[in-house]
């Protein structure tokens, strides 16, 4: 009888499937998948035939409730977006762009701000929290060095499948190293060193954690907005979407008309200036991309 499990890693045609007892088996996928155009993904819930003590064959992939393309990973519930408040310095534009991306995937977004121990970050966390919490985003201050935030992260990750995302050097692997102290792989396996002399994460891998799973994911920030229509952007900014309904102009991009409800909300301080600035910058990028398409 075939046994249920979850793919936690995929390398060179092999799938590592973890069963409920925690054991991991190295599997091939049954040939018929290729013919049917199905390619198993990390995160897939599968059935496998057991071969020997630690091998198997994936025989069935269960329907997915979500599927990311970059990174390729299935059945994710939420993303912990990681930003550093200093070194590298915080970019509000990056925060807003990543948030828009996660909204476009319809995933829950959690915001983690690292390196609160560095003096350059003083006061900055309070500022970001004041912007993002009223919109309904969980906002957590983190410092591995000062031992801040990891308990809250554990609560937020419990029982769910979470991807960590964020630019290189913000501290994603460092957080995982604290959550998963026994997994040498988290900071060790990563192998290749980036130009700045640090370990850089290369593979997508799910680690069981707090009754759920967590993944460190390379390359998330390469999301490509190019295929999106400019008018779709509003719905990815919660604060802007909340007032955009009241805008009297049909098809308004909320970037120029006097009398536009969004512009009014910005001038009254009901929408944060930096959020609106990010919206305008992304909108300009989408318009450029569209112009290049035709």
Question: Which one of the spans 56-64, 194-202, 227-235, 241-249 is the region binding Mg ion (CB under 5 A)?
Answer: 194-202
Nearer to Zn ion, 57 or 262 (CB): 262
* E strand map for 210-282: 212-216
Both tokens assigned to 284: 């300009």
Nearer to Zn ion, 154 or 273 (CB): 273
The reply to whether 205 sits near Mg ion by the rule CB under 5 A is no
d(CA 123, CA 199): 29
* E strand map for 52-116: 55-61, 67-68, 73-74, 78-84, 108-114
Which listed residue (72, 88, 169, 212) binds ligand GTP by CB under 6 A?
Answer: 169
Nearer to ligand GTP, 198 or 270 (CB): 198
> 274 to 293, contacts with Mg ion by CB under 5 A?
none
Sequence-distant (≥ 6) Cβ neighbours of residue 150 within 8 angstroms: 142, 144, 175, 178, 179
Nearer to Mg ion, 72 or 218 (CB): 218
The reply to whether 200 sits near ligand GTP by the rule CB under 6 A is yes
Q: Which does 198 bind (CB under 5 to 8 A by kind): Mg ion, Zn ion, ligand GTP, none?
A: ligand GTP
Which listed residue (47, 50, 118, 228) binds ligand GTP by CB under 6 A?
Answer: 118
| Contacts of range 255-259, beta carbons closer than 8 Å, 24 or more positions apart | 255/280, 255/283
The reply to whether 172 sits near ligand GTP by the rule CB under 6 A is yes
* 35-73 burial code (b ≥16 CB/10 A, e <16): eeeeebbbbbbbbbebeeeeebbbbbbeeeeeebeebeb
Helix axes 92-104, 124-132, angle to 10 degrees: 30
> 138 to 167, contacts with ligand GTP by CB under 6 A?
142-145, 166
Which listed residue (201, 217, 234, 278) binds Mg ion by CB under 5 A?
Answer: 201
Give contact residues for ligand GTP (rule: CB under 6 A).
114-115, 117-118, 142-145, 166, 168-174, 194, 198, 200-201
Give contact residues for Mg ion (rule: CB under 5 A).
172-173, 201
């Amino acid at each position: 009888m075939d046994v249920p499990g979850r793919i936690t890693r995929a390398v060179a045609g092999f799938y590592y499937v973890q069963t409920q007892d925690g054991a991991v088996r190295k599997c091939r996928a049954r040939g018929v998948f290729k013919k049917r155009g199905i390619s198993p993904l990390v995160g897939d819930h599968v059935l496998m035939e057991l071969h020997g003590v630690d091998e198997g064959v994936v025989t069935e992939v269960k329907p997915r409730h979500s599927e990311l393309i970059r990174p390729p990973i299935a059945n994710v519930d939420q993303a912990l977006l990681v930003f550093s408040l200093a070194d590298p310095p915080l970019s509000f534009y990056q925060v807003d762009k990543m948030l828009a991306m996660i909204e476009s995937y319809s995933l829950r977004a959690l915001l983690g701000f690292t390196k609160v121990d560095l003096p350059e970050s003083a006061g900055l966390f309070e500022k970001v929290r004041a912007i993002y919490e009223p919109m309904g985003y969980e906002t957590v201050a983190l410092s591995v060095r000062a031992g801040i935030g990891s308990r809250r992260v554990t609560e937020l990750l419990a029982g769910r499948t979470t991807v960590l995302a964020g630019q290189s050097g913000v501290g994603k692997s460092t957080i995982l190293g604290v959550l998963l102290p026994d997994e040498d792989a988290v900071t060790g396996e990563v192998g290749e060193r980036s130009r700045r002399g640090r370990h850089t994460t290369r593979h997508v891998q799910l680690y069981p954690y707090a009754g759920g799973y967590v993944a460190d994911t390379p390359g998330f920030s390469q999301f490509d907005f190019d295929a999106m229509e400019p008018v779709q952007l509003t719905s990815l900014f919660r604060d802007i979407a909340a007032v955009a309904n009241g805008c009297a102009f049909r098809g308004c991009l909320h970037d120029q008309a006097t009398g536009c409800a969004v512009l009014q909300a910005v001038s009254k301080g009901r929408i944060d200036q930096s959020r609106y600035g990010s919206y305008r910058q992304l909108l300009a990028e989408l318009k450029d991309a569209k112009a290049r398409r035709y």
